[in-house]
Chains A and B, each alone.
With several copies, the nearest count.
Chain A
Amino acid sequence: MKLAVFLSDLRRTEDTYDRLKADKLGVILVENGVYHAVLKEGGKDSPILSKAGANFYVLSDDLETRGFTAAQVNSKVKVVSYGDIVDLIMNDYEKTAWL
């Protein structure tokens, strides 16, 4: 399946993300999920970004709301707009999971 996963928190209370598999996986970081794209906790990338084979996206509005800019975003992650997220949902992936 082609699955777009939304993450909206810095600290997760589920482990579904670690277990779910998809042939094509998109991970869209929104709200407080955007911190995974910019923080280096203990000098390291967020473990969220180590999911093999996934494509990572971060919502630019939610980054800027929190005082961060595209320049600070991890190179694994693509900065996107609301319109881009619509295209990801409607064209690139078949289903979504807000974890």
Chain B
Amino acid sequence: MGVFTMGVFPSLVGSGTLDFSFKLAEAALAKGHTVNMWLSGNAVMMAKKGQRAFKDYSHLEKKMMELVGKGMAITVCEACAEARGYHKEDTPEGMKRASMDWYLAKTFKSDRVLHIGGE
């Protein structure tokens, strides 16, 4: 069993990339791996409480809490969140905020890293 760290950057409401990341994390946890997830750039939208669920958009808050319950460490980029007006009190329980060095330090301790960049 290994340590797998994902960095998720370009995701948004209505984009498939966050969905992909959470499903991949779920599959990795199911196989017994340790999973870390870093949400940065636009992917910090997961840090906002009170997103209303519409059938038109994937709504991942529930899935995220499930994965946290299974031991996934999930942290969002603090500055990226602040710039978008997501403050500490908006952050769902179980999710951490940190600066970017958290992610780099996690890559140090990981067997594999999947960094999802792009636009």
A residues adjacent to B (C-beta < 8 A): 6, 8-9, 13, 30-32, 61-62, 65, 81-83, 85-87, 89-90, 95-96, 98-99
B residues adjacent to A (C-beta < 8 A): 2, 4, 16-17, 20, 23-24, 26-28, 30-31, 33, 111-119
CB within 8 Å: A-B pair count: 55
Asked whether, in the complex, the Cβ of A82 is within 8 Å of the Cβ of B24, the reply is: yes
Mostly, the B contact residues are: mixed
Residues of B within 8 A of A83 (CB): 27, 30-31
Beyond known contacts A89-B114, A90-B4: 17 more, CB 8 A cutoff: A8-B118, A32-B16, A81-B27, A83-B31, A85-B27, A86-B27, A86-B31, A87-B31, A89-B112, A90-B2, A90-B111, A90-B112, A95-B112, A95-B113, A96-B112, A96-B115, A98-B118
